[in-house]
A and B are shown apart, each in its own frame.
Chain A
Amino acid sequence: MADPILEVRDIRVEYPTPEGPARAVDRVSFAIHPGEFLGIVGESGCGKSTLLFAITQLLTPPARLAGGAVVFKGQNLVQLAEGALRTVRWRDYSVVMQSAMNALNPVKTVAAQYADAMRAHGYADRAAIRARSREVLSLVGIDSVHLNSFPHQLSGGMRQRVMIAMALLLSPELIVMDEPTSALDVVAQRSLMVQIKALQRSLGFAVIFVTHDMSLVGHFSDRLAVMYAGVIVEIGPTRRIFDSPGHPYTQGLLESFPSVYGPKIPLKGIPGAPPNMVMLPTGCRFHPRCAKVMERCSIDPPELYEAEDLSVRCFLREAAHVRCA
């Protein structure tokens, strides 16, 4: 297999709080290959956005990178100066955040914002900028008349498309997306997912896609990482995880959304809520909510046990791991 385009190693991020540091992301590691689609799922507050900020070097104080490396095409982004980062960002990787309304400048037209982004990367030819702007908009199914629109003149779905088109401007090899569809209706959401997937297939970029709704990425991601309380609790091929999830948390997430087709079964969801990152439970961080909790779970923290193609942070998988080793 080709070398990974991005390797995240032992990333740790802390927020200072009056009660001590909140470790929002704790030793997260994974790799993503060229053209791969990685979904990152977990409930709100599990550290998904913080992880994306750390990867893209967009963390702002008081958040602090407490350790780890982000190796993008052989270069450790953590050690790059902001000037060098600005060159890499947008050209080599781009970012689509949850709220386009916050990411877009409300007093500039779409065309002006695209032009700013391109000029910052050395494009000066106005005609070329215009042509590329039209091109990316048509890629996401938006008429180029909207180049002259201001963000508030667009529907929520169109704004997200405008953001995704902007991320495509410089043909990056990786696009990082944080819940780009969560504020949309079901139809707009699904149609945007289909479009992102089609673009990824035809243009070949890799995607890291974060969502709290696991069902959303089921058809789209190649691999899935499940985060809980700042750590990855399960990572492996998407189909494999949907067919037989290894971690009780993943099982809970999968049992949280009703089906439109199958038999109508009562669902329970997951009782309780994710923990406060300052006062983490001892042992397994999920143990207070786990349906399969055992005695040792509240004492020892489980490792990420690898067996076959799946890595799962749960004692129940320890035996499988030993057999494979």
Chain B
Amino acid sequence: MSAAREGESRGNRNQAGALLEAVALTRHFRIGGLFGRTLHAVDDVDLTLNAREIVALVGESGSGKSTVARLFAMVFRPTAGDIRFRGRSLREIRSRRDILAYRGQVPMVFQDPFSSLNPVHTIGYALDRGLKLHRPSLSRAEREAEAIRVLDSVGLSPGRRMLERYPHELSGGQRQRVGFARALSCHPKVVLADEPVSMLDVSIRIGLLNLMAQLCESEGLSFLYITHDIASARYVAHRVVVMYAGQVVESGPTEEVLHRPVHPYTRLLLSAVPDPRAELNIAATDLGEPPRVVEPGEGCRFRWRCPLAISICAVVTPRLRPASPGHDGACHVTVGQAAPAA
């Protein structure tokens, strides 16, 4: 299939209602100077976020999740492929004003609640600055009212009292809520949440996951929830996209993917979840080493770790194919050749 035809058929496959979508999204980095090599951080990724939807992007470190988020946030430009927000290509967004407006509608929440807030400023100051930048038409009083509203809506109430607090006076979980409040203050459509709970205690994480679910429900927000923990993905996400070594290896409705995982990597992720209620079933032989993404060449990138690998896996890169309606997998062995081609 020619590249042009392929792009076309992919475009057709994405629903009209997509809020934010990546089509054949690719980002490479040159590493190592003059005789440098190419690192394939993200290769040919399709990903769609609809309105009022939480999509979990799952994979271990180095699989390209943050790069996808940064491409969506316009921190990086794609090497190839495209991102569309409400049908419009991000390529068309060029002026400083438009980029700012886009970042307000698609803000990012980061992993580290300790470094993402400036220690010398109060929470009120941090929110006010964002509001001044993104919503310059608001008056001072309106900005304060808005800051209080978003603090209350992320569970930091009374918001008015929160305004004078400094980051060091807050717990990690509270600081992460401030991160969400900051994102909310711009009236976003989609929040890019890059491992927002990974650095928090387990007992605190669930409160933030509940907050995302609640904001999706009550404010109609969509989330790209990035995590390496597939159990937390199951808890909040409507759909799951599993990435390995820069590529999507499986995607589909959450319960479908969790109950009928087709890709060996998804199965490995599932077996690694520490769930005392389940049987212990992981082999100690998989050391969980980061994926190889420097000049990966042809072939399945998971083959070095795959218990099912056959000879073709070293030669031909498996493409995503439907395993069942809405559920795709990229594996020569587990996703039948007989499955209908696009």
- A contact set with B: CB distance below 8 Å: 43-44, 141, 155-158, 161, 184-195, 198, 212-216, 218-219, 242, 252-253, 256-262, 264, 266-271, 273
Q: Are A186 and B235 in contact (CB under 8 A)?
A: no
List the 6 closest pairs (A to B, CB-CB), nearest first: A218-B276, A188-B288, A187-B288, A269-B206, A258-B235, A194-B284
Determine if B158 is an interface residue (Cβ-Cβ < 8 Å): no
Determine if B230 is an interface residue (Cβ-Cβ < 8 Å): yes
Binary interface encoding of chain B residues 269-284 relative to chain A, with 1 for a CB under 8 A from any of its CBs, else 0:
1111111111010111
The CA-CA distance from A193 to B275 in the complex, in Å, is 13
Stretch from B47-55, B196-204, B295-303 forming part of the interface with A: B196-204
The CA-CA distance from A262 to B234 in the complex, in Å, is 11
Determine if B287 is an interface residue (Cβ-Cβ < 8 Å): yes
Q: Are A260 and B273 in contact (CB under 8 A)?
A: yes
In the complex, residue of chain B having the shortest beta-carbon distance to the beta carbon of A269: B206
In the complex, residue of chain B having the shortest beta-carbon distance to the beta carbon of A218: B276
Q: Are A216 and B235 in contact (CB under 8 A)?
A: no
Q: Dominant SS at the A interface?
A: loop
Q: Are A187 and B231 in contact (CB under 8 A)?
A: no
Could you show 19 A-B contacts with beta carbons less than 8 Å apart? Answer: A155-B289, A157-B288, A185-B60, A185-B228, A186-B272, A186-B288, A190-B273, A190-B274, A194-B283, A215-B274, A216-B274, A219-B276, A257-B206, A258-B231, A259-B275, A260-B230, A260-B231, A261-B277, A270-B203
Which of A157, A212, A261: most chain B Cβ within 10 A?
A261
In the complex, residue of chain A having the shortest beta-carbon distance to the beta carbon of B282: A190
Contact of B202 among A161, A187, A190, A214 (CB under 8 A): A214
Determine if B8 is an interface residue (Cβ-Cβ < 8 Å): no
Determine if B61 is an interface residue (Cβ-Cβ < 8 Å): yes
Q: Are B288 and A191 in contact (CB under 8 A)?
A: yes
The CA-CA distance from A195 to B285 in the complex, in Å, is 9
The CA-CA distance from A73 to B230 in the complex, in Å, is 43
A contact residues around B187 at 8 Å (CB): none
Q: Are A195 and B284 in contact (CB under 8 A)?
A: yes
In the complex, residue of chain A having the shortest beta-carbon distance to the beta carbon of B232: A258
Contact of A259 among B173, B202, B229, B277 (CB under 8 A): B277
Question: Could you say which interface size class chain B belongs to?
Answer: 35 or more
Binary interface encoding of chain B residues 147-159 relative to chain A, with 1 for a CB under 8 A from any of its CBs, else 0:
0000000000000
Q: How far is the CB of A277 from chain B (nearest CB, A)?
A: 15
Residues 183-240 of B contacting A (Cβ, < 8 Å):
201-207, 209-210, 228-232, 234-235
Contact of A258 among B171, B173, B203, B234 (CB under 8 A): B234
A contact residues around B234 at 8 Å (CB): 258, 260, 264
The CA-CA distance from A188 to B228 in the complex, in Å, is 11
The CA-CA distance from A293 to B110 in the complex, in Å, is 36
Which of B210, B229, B272: most chain A Cβ within 10 A?
B272
Contact of A213 among B202, B285, B286, B287 (CB under 8 A): B202
Q: Are B287 and A141 in contact (CB under 8 A)?
A: yes
Which of A161, A194, A271: most chain B Cβ within 10 A?
A194
Q: Are B277 and A262 in contact (CB under 8 A)?
A: yes
B contact residues around A141 at 8 Å (CB): 284-285, 287
